[in-house]
Amino acid sequence: MQRMLSVLVDDKPGVLSRIGGLFYRRGYNITSLTVGQTEIPGKSRFTVTFEGDEAIAEQIRKQAQKLINVIKISEHTVKNSEIREYALIKVGFTEENKTEVYHLVDFYKAKIIDILDGAAIIEITEEEGRIDKLIERLSHYQILELVRTGKVAMFRGKKTIK
Amino acid sequence: MQRMLSVLVDDKPGVLSRIGGLFYRRGYNITSLTVGQTEIPGKSRFTVTFEGDEAIAEQIRKQAQKLINVIKISEHTVKNSEIREYALIKVGFTEENKTEVYHLVDFYKAKIIDILDGAAIIEITEEEGRIDKLIERLSHYQILELVRTGKVAMFRGKKTIK
């Protein structure tokens, strides 16, 4: 089962290495990670996704809470949170496929942000697996490159991770 | 100066810890990071932003290239790449401010994805510093929470990081 943690940390060198090390030592592979600034100056937020059951998630929460510069850890689920991911997909863009690519982009509420020298860059925001579905459809043409941000999540309502 | 590297890696435990350790040992602070899957099974892509001049960037490129499971490193600039970031912003949402919040969301081409118990979650995709501007405007109301994915980048045209 895919699990997702938000980790509020002090924005200090070494935090990344320590959090990475915690997963590594226990043999848990991170499937996606984002690290960015928050509404609080000097604090960053890690969003980590990984495969694991409740026992593994509990262990990671407990261990991570002990790390230097880690302030707070919260777990997100589809029930309590809005979960999103953003991706850029580059496809070969030709006279032959362009009508179909435009059609797919429309259908998946994606957007073409650049077209140059026979390649188009498409952006899409995830909602309910739409990135995977668009990638699958586009793979019939030529996917030159794909970059995904990794997931971010936010509790609904006034509840925050602080 | 803010610099941005894409790092193609084997999707193995330990890579995160090693890349984090490289920045830590040299005292370079990562300002944002995303790690996600690519178009190649078993390969992930790190996008790292950090402050530094050309000498620092050159050192990091050289050192990172030597790390186990690191396949390829590319540097992105606004001249050669499309650069994007995605954010979720939660604001207090009241009878008093809702007209203005809707107006700002429209103006910045953002989107309200959830409204619950007096809080609204707004999503925005970065283009030319629009996230910072929207945050600044919304800070006149009540920003409850902010999560940013960190930046991702893609070369324009058929050039890829591979």
Q: Tell which of A76, A103, A127 closes a domain.
A: A76
Q: What local confidence, expressed as pLDDT, does residue A89 receive?
A: 97
A30 touches chain B (CB under 8 A): yes
A29 in the same domain as A10: yes
Domain that holds residue B35: 2-76
The CATH code of the domain that includes A9 is 3.30.70.260
- Position A128 pLDDT exceeds 80: no
- CB contacts of A143 in chain B (<8 Å) are 39
As given in the structure block, the two tokens for residue B37 are 């899957």
Taking only the tens place, the pLDDT of each residue in B25-69 is 888 878 899 999 999 999 999 999 999 899 999 999 999 999 999
Domain count along chain A:
2
- CB contacts of A31 in chain B (<8 Å) are 37
Task: Give residue B12's pLDDT band: very low, low, confident or very high (50, 70, 90).
Answer: confident
Residue A119 lies in a domain: yes
- Position A129 pLDDT exceeds 90: no
- Position B159 pLDDT exceeds 80: yes
For A109, left (φ over 0), alpha (ψ -120 to 50), or beta? Answer: left
Rounded-to-integer distance, Cα B84 and Cα A86, Å: 9
Q: Tell which of A21, A44, A76 closes a domain.
A: A76
B29 in the same domain as B11: yes
| Sequence-separated (6 or more) residues with CB below 8 Å from residue B55 | none
Q: What local confidence, expressed as pLDDT, does residue B157 receive?
A: 96
Residues above pLDDT 70, as percent of chain B: 99
Rounded-to-integer distance, Cα B17 and Cα A161, Å: 24
Q: What local confidence, expressed as pLDDT, does residue A113 receive?
A: 97
Which of A50, A78, A134, A158 would you mutate first to test chain B, the one with the most B CBs within 10 A?
A158
A135 in the same domain as A112: yes
Which of B7, B109, B137, B149 would you mutate first to test chain A, the one with the most A CBs within 10 A?
B149
Task: Give residue A29's pLDDT band: very low, low, confident or very high (50, 70, 90).
Answer: confident
| Sequence-separated (6 or more) residues with CB below 8 Å from residue A108 | A124, A130, A133, A134, A137
Q: Tell which of B76, B105, B125 closes a domain.
A: B76
B12 in the same domain as B71: yes
Q: What local confidence, expressed as pLDDT, does residue B73 receive?
A: 96
Cβ–Cβ < 8 Å for B24, B60: no
Choose among B121, B89, B87: nearest CA to A80.
B121
A49 in the same domain as A94: no
B79 touches chain A (CB under 8 A): no
The CATH code of the domain that includes A117 is 3.30.70.1150
Choose among B131, B120, B36: nearest CA to A152.
B36
Q: Which residue of B has its CA nearest to A34?
A: B34
**C-beta atoms of B88 and A90 within 8 A:** no
- Position A41 pLDDT exceeds 90: yes
B44 in the same domain as B98: no
User: How many residue pairs from chains A and B have C-beta atoms closer than 8 A?
Assistant: 210
- Concatenated DSSP letters of B75-123: EE-TTTEEEE-EEEEEEE--TTTHHHHHHHHHHTT-EEEEEETTEEEEE
Rounded-to-integer distance, Cα B27 and Cα B18, Å: 14
Q: What local confidence, expressed as pLDDT, does residue B26 receive?
A: 85
Residue A158 lies in a domain: no
Q: Which residue of A has its CA nearest to B111?
A: A125
B72 in the same domain as B8: yes
**C-beta atoms of A145 and B153 within 8 A:** no
Helix (H/G/I), strand (E/B), else coil: A139: coil
B72 in the same domain as B7: yes
A122 in the same domain as A105: yes
Residue A161 lies in a domain: no
| AA identity, residue B45 | R
Q: Can you give the pTM of this predicted structure?
A: 0.93
